[in-house]
Amino acid sequence: MMTKLSVNINKLATLRNARGGNVPDLLKAASDIESFGGQGITIHPRPDERHIRYQDARDLKNVVQTEYNIEGNPIKYFMNLVLAIRPTQVTLVPDKIGVLTSDAGWDTIKHKSFLTEIIQEFKRNDIRTSIFVDPVLTMIEGAAAVGTDRVELYTEDFAVGFAKGNQTAVAPYTACAIRAHELGMGVNAGHDLSLDNIAYFKNNVPHLAEVSIGHALISEAIYQGLETVVKQYLQKLK
């Protein structure tokens, strides 16, 4: 199956915010990424708005023509924002306040009641749901129990292991993807995926519907150009 590429544009917003103003233009960048073949746009607004601002989330709704994915911790303001925008997908991430970047998946067993309630609310509004999870079979089974449409596998452990030459680091992701598919859930993945490791991950993780890539892709684009890098990812995901 073809795995869709959703480009996380948080880092472009970080660059814009460093100088104020509107350079780079986030809305134009999103449109350009789609014109280069990108099949989705991902954003992850945080309460301090250090990169994506809440107004960006609203403005992008009128620009994104492919799939629009909003990630975040389902605190009240985030919930209200997503319900007002109604993107294609909401990805629930258990971010702590002030965290630099997402660093853990949900404990889907401990937070079963909370996640079930949140997911039901999004589903009532026709928003596809995904839960950020570690590659642990019990967490996958817990995700199925709360009724999510998809899981997003947290891929940092794979990326670190692969960079050290440990190709078996992909094994837990393979097992979790198979189990998620058996339980009727779609499989997404993200965090520290790059041009160096994406093809190996894709080739060894079945049923992979979508990857969300931001930091590495934008960093690679500094050297090679955004259009070139987007097209390289698309080729590797075939």
Where in the sequence numbering do the catalytic residues fall?
44, 71, 191
Beta strands in 67-215 (DSSP E): 67-72, 89-92, 128-133, 150-154, 186-190, 208-213
For residue 7, give the H/E element and its range: strand 4-8
Dihedral, CA of residue 224, residue 36, residue 231 and residue 227, to nearest 10: 0
Please state, in angstroms and rounded to a whole number, the distance separating the CA atoms of residues 73 and 94: 5
* Residue showing tokens 């090679």: 224
Q: 75 with 92: CB under 8 angstroms? A: no
Q: 193 with 155: CB under 8 angstroms? A: yes
Closest CA to 132 of 124, 146, 120, 121: 146
